[in-house]
Structure 1
Amino acid sequence: MKTKLKIQNYLVVLLIIFASCRLHSIPEPIKKNLDSVVNVVLLAGQSNMVGFGNYDDLSEELKDRIAKVADRVTVSYTYLNQVPLSYSKNKPNEKYSFTKRFGPELFIGLTLAEKYPNKEFLLIKHAKGGTSLYGAWSSDYTLEKAKEIEKGEKKQGWNLPQIHINLINKNLNILKEKGKDYKIIGMAWMQGENDALKEFAATSYAENLQKLIEKYRTTFNEENMPFVFGQINSRYGIKGGPAIVRSQMEKVPTMVQNTAILKTTTDKTWSDYPKHKDNVHYNAEGQKRLGIAFANELIKMINE
Structure 2
Amino acid sequence: MKKTHQFLVILVLLFSFGNAKAQVAKETISIVLLAGQSNMAGAGDFTALDAAVKERLYKVKDRVQISNAGKTPTPLSFYLSKGHKTKYGFEEAFGPELMIGTVLAEKFPKEKFLLIKTAQGGTALYGAWNPDWTAEKTDEVEAEGFKRDLKLYANFIDDVKQNIKRIESQGNTYKIIGMGWMQGENDAAKEVSALSYETNLVNLINRVRTDLNVKDMPFVLGQINSHYGNFPAGPETVRTAQLNSNKLLKKVVTIKTIADKPFDDYPKHSDNVHYNAEGQYRLGNAFAEALLKLQ
Residues 1:151 and 2:154 aligned together: no
Q: Does structure 1 conserve the Cα–Cα contact (< 8 Å) formed by 2:224 and 2:235?
A: yes
Cα distance in 1 for residues equivalent to 2:145 and 2:277: 32
Counterparts of 1:130-279 in structure 2, within 5 Å, are 130-237=122-229, 238-279=231-272
Residue 97 (structure 1) shift: 2.0
Secondary structure of the 2:275 match is coil
Counterpart residue number, 1:29: none
Amino acid at match of 2:163: N
Cα distance in 2 for residues equivalent to 1:92 and 1:292: 25
Residue 64 (structure 1) shift: 1.0
Counterparts of 1:25-44 in structure 2, within 5 Å, are 36-44=27-35
Counterpart residue number, 1:82: 73
Report how many aligned residue pairs link the two structures: 270
Amino acid at match of 1:80: K
Cα distance in 2 for residues equivalent to 1:257 and 1:79: 29
Residues 1:58 and 2:49 aligned together: yes
Secondary structure of the 2:82 match is coil
Decide which moves more: 100-109 or 245-254. 245-254
Q: Deviations over 1:115-173 (max 9, x none)?
A: 11111100000000000010001110111110011011311111100000111111111
Structure 2 unpaired stretches of 5+: 1-23
Q: Does structure 2 conserve the Cα–Cα contact (< 8 Å) formed by 1:35 and 1:118?
A: no
Q: Does structure 2 conserve the Cα–Cα contact (< 8 Å) formed by 1:48 and 1:281?
A: yes
Amino acid at match of 1:259: V
Counterpart residue number, 2:118: 126
Q: Does structure 2 conserve the Cα–Cα contact (< 8 Å) formed by 1:34 and 1:118?
A: no
Amino acid at match of 1:60: A
Counterpart residue number, 1:30: none
Cα distance in 1 for residues equivalent to 2:189 and 2:195: 11
Cα distance in 2 for residues equivalent to 1:170 and 1:72: 20
Residues 1:280 and 2:273 aligned together: yes
Q: Does structure 2 conserve the Cα–Cα contact (< 8 Å) formed by 1:230 and 1:262?
A: yes
Residue 114 (structure 1) shift: 0.5
Counterpart residue number, 1:291: 284
Amino acid at match of 2:30: N
Secondary structure of the 2:87 match is coil
Residue 198 (structure 1) shift: 1.4
Counterpart residue number, 2:16: none
TM-score (norm 1): 0.87
TM-score (norm 2): 0.89
Residue 34 (structure 1) shift: 8.6
The 1:35/1:263 distance shift into structure 2, 3 A limit, reads farther
Residue 110 (structure 1) shift: 0.4
Residue 301 (structure 1) shift: 0.5
Q: Does structure 2 conserve the Cα–Cα contact (< 8 Å) formed by 1:49 and 1:103?
A: yes
Cα distance in 2 for residues equivalent to 1:209 and 1:219: 15
